[in-house]
């Protein structure tokens, strides 16, 4: 096989298989020998790559679909920085290869369009990300693709909902608004027995805390905007697939024109270097805040996968390697205007969409559901992202916020 020219991303340090994840995170995607010794892979800001000879284009035309071909020919097909990010995420998660995308939602749309076609049916967990739901409800029907939502804890019971044309089962574990943890191996068994694929939104756990491909997932997507970038300063997504699906998914997403910038890929790679230390801190602080909230008289329920009362906690303990900073809690019923008072009184928990950055955030959640979750207590549901601030300061902030609520709800 002809060696591709300018294949500067072809020799990323392959982590030693005995290395633990903390060690792998310091090496994944790096290739100093091909980049003047630079510790970090540089930002290749290039729409165009000059071909040194006519055979470069011929190589690409013959081998461009080969996953091992790493020549760079045109920016929309990637560059050494984006390739390094794709490889790093895929290797950490245990998948075959990654595909960088401009946002997490683009990763969802691109991956679904890559495997589903007109006439297909998709089974989607009812607790999925709200904007993914908009895609299933508003966009896909126009292309002849039907969706049925299943109750998140249904497990192997999804078998009864599978139709002859069910192509895909779509999971998000835990769901990022009500936090039920689905049994991914059970969903994979049933999907595969019926010739369907299992796709997972693995944004919450990240490739560090849930190894999607050893639990039967065929396609994993990440909103890298959240923990992978980790600093609330870039939009980024990534799709990771099995070897069997990679060529099909890559072909589709590249034909659809999806790519992300080298600058954002660089931020994703930089975020990966500290992913483990950040997540351990988010995990510790979020658990402390969750346990503190459980003791408060104003709080009806805390929905955190690492606490026994969360639906799917057993699955969490069996399959996940850690928990992160995002969880929910329910305030005992209060008038909506008091929810506003509570939210606006907080100083460290800012109101905002997104999560996964260094800073704490809060928002009220009103999950649209086909199957109202019996598991969520009556009251007002909030979602917290516990950031990297000192946990004592976060608890003091929540305490002063809760003190704005009148005593009737303190019973
Ligand atoms: C934010 C988010 C997405 C979408 O990611 P964007 O980068 O914002 O497009 C998808 N899934 C989950 C669970 C998310 O929280």
Ligand 1 atom closest to 172 (CA): 13
Do 53 and 76 belong together in one domain? yes
Range of the domain at 189: 11-273
Domain count, the chain: 2
Q: Which of 101, 105, 130 to mutate to test the pocket of ligand 1 (most atoms within 8 A of CB)?
A: 105
What's the 222 CA to ligand 1 centre distance in angstroms?
7
- Alpha helix positions (H), 183-312: 184-193, 206-209, 243-255, 262-273, 275-294
CA angle 380, 133, 163 (to 5 degrees): 120
Do 285 and 241 belong together in one domain? no
Task: Classify residue 76 by its DSSP letter.
Answer: G
User: Is there an atom of ligand 1 within 6 Å of 268 CB?
Assistant: no
Do 324 and 240 belong together in one domain? no
What's the 383 CA to ligand 1 centre distance in angstroms?
15
What's the 37 CA to ligand 1 centre distance in angstroms?
35
**How far is CA 87 from its chain centroid?**
16
**Does any domain span residue 122?**
yes
Cβ neighbours for 160, distance < 8 A, ≥ 6 positions apart: none
- Predicted confidence at residue 6, as pLDDT, reads 40
CATH number, position 52: 3.40.640.10
How far CA 23 is from CA of 18, 20, 28, 280, 322, in Å, comes to 10, 5, 9, 15, 17
Do 308 and 343 belong together in one domain? yes
3 state DSSP class of 30: coil
Q: Which of 89, 100, 104 to mutate to test the pocket of ligand 1 (most atoms within 8 A of CB)?
A: 104
Q: Cα separation of 166 and 192, whole Å?
A: 11
Instruction: Identify whether the C-beta of residue 327 lies closer than 8 Å to the C-beta of residue 305.
Output: yes
pLDDT digits (tens, 9 = 90+) for 313-355: 999 999 999 999 999 999 999 998 999 999 999 999 999 999 9
Q: Could you please report the per-residue DSSP string of 166-184? A: EEEEEEESS-TTT-----H
User: Is there an atom of ligand 1 within 6 Å of 315 CB?
Assistant: no
Q: Which residues of the chain have pLDDT under 50?
A: 1-11, 410-411
User: Is there an atom of ligand 1 within 6 Å of 201 CB?
Assistant: yes
Do 238 and 313 belong together in one domain? no
- Predicted confidence at residue 301, as pLDDT, reads 95
Q: Cα separation of 282 and 41, whole Å?
A: 27
Least Cα distance to 85 among 47, 45, 40 occurs for 40
Q: What does the block give as tokens for 167?
A: 């192509």
Return the HEC string of 265-300. Answer: HHHHHHHHHCHHHHHHHHHHHHHHHHHHHHCCCCEE
- Domain final residue pick, 208, 242, 273: 273
CA angle 379, 381, 382 (to 5 degrees): 140
3 state DSSP class of 379: coil
Do 151 and 225 belong together in one domain? yes
- Domain final residue pick, 239, 273, 307: 273
**Does any domain span residue 4?**
no
What's the 104 CA to ligand 1 centre distance in angstroms?
5
Q: Which residues are catalytic?
A: 76, 129, 201, 226
- Domain final residue pick, 224, 247, 273: 273
Do 217 and 100 belong together in one domain? yes
- Predicted confidence at residue 380, as pLDDT, reads 92
Do 80 and 201 belong together in one domain? yes
b/e 16-48 (16+ beta carbons within 10 angstroms → b): eeeeebeebbebbbbbeebbeeeebbebbeeee
Do 225 and 285 belong together in one domain? no
What's the 175 CA to ligand 1 centre distance in angstroms?
11
Do 284 and 359 belong together in one domain? yes
Least Cα distance to 113 among 233, 264, 221, 5 occurs for 221
């Amino acid at each position: 096989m002809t060696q591709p020219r300018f294949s500067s991303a072809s020799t990323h340090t392959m982590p030693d298989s005995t290395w633990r994840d903390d060690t792998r995170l310091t090496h994944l995607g790096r290739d100093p020998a091909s980049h003047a010794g630079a510790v970090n892979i540089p930002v290749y800001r290039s729409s165009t790559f000059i071909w040194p000879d006519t055979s470069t284009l011929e190589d690409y035309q013959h081998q461009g679909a080969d996953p091992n071909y790493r020549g760079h020919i045109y920016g929309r097909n990637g560059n050494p920085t984006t390739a390094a990010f794709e490889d790093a995420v895929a290797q950490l998660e245990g998948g075959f290869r990654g595909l960088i995308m401009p946002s997490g939602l683009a990763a969802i749309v691109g991956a679904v369009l890559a495997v589903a076609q007109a006439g297909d049916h998709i089974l989607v967990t009812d607790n999925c990300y709200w904007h993914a739901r908009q895609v299933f409800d508003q966009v896909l029907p126009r292309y002849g693709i039907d969706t049925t939502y299943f109750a998140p804890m249904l497990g192997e019971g999804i078998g009864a909902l599978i139709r002859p044309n069910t192509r895909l089962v779509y999971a998000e574990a835990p769901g990022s608004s009500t936090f039920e943890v689905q049994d991914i191996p059970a969903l994979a068994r049933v999907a595969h027995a019926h010739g369907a694929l299992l796709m997972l939104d693995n944004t919450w756990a990240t490739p560090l805390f849930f190894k999607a491909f050893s639990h039967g997932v065929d396609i994993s997507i990440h909103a890298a905007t959240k923990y992978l970038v980790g600093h609330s300063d870039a939009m980024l997504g990534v799709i990771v697939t099995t070897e069997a699906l990679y060529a099909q998914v890559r072909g589709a997403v590249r034909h659809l024109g999806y790519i992300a910038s080298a600058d954002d890929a660089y931020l994703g790679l930089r975020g990966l270097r500290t992913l483990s230390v950040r997540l351990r801190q988010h995990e510790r602080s979020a658990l402390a805040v969750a346990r503190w909230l459980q003791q408060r008289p104003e709080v009806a329920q805390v929905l955190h996968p690492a606490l026994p009362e969360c639906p799917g906690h057993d699955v969490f303990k069996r399959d996940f390697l850690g928990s992160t900073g995002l969880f929910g809690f329910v305030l005992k019923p209060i008038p909506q205007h008091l929810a506003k008072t509570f939210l606006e009184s907080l100083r460290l928990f800012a109101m905002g969409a997104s999560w996964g950055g260094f800073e704490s955030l809060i928002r009220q959640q009103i999950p649209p559901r086909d199957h109202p979750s019996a598991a969520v207590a009556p009251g007002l549901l909030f979602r917290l992202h516990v950031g990297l601030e000192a946990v004592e300061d976060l608890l003091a902030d929540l305490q002063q916020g809760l003190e704005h609520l009148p005593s009737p709800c303190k019973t």
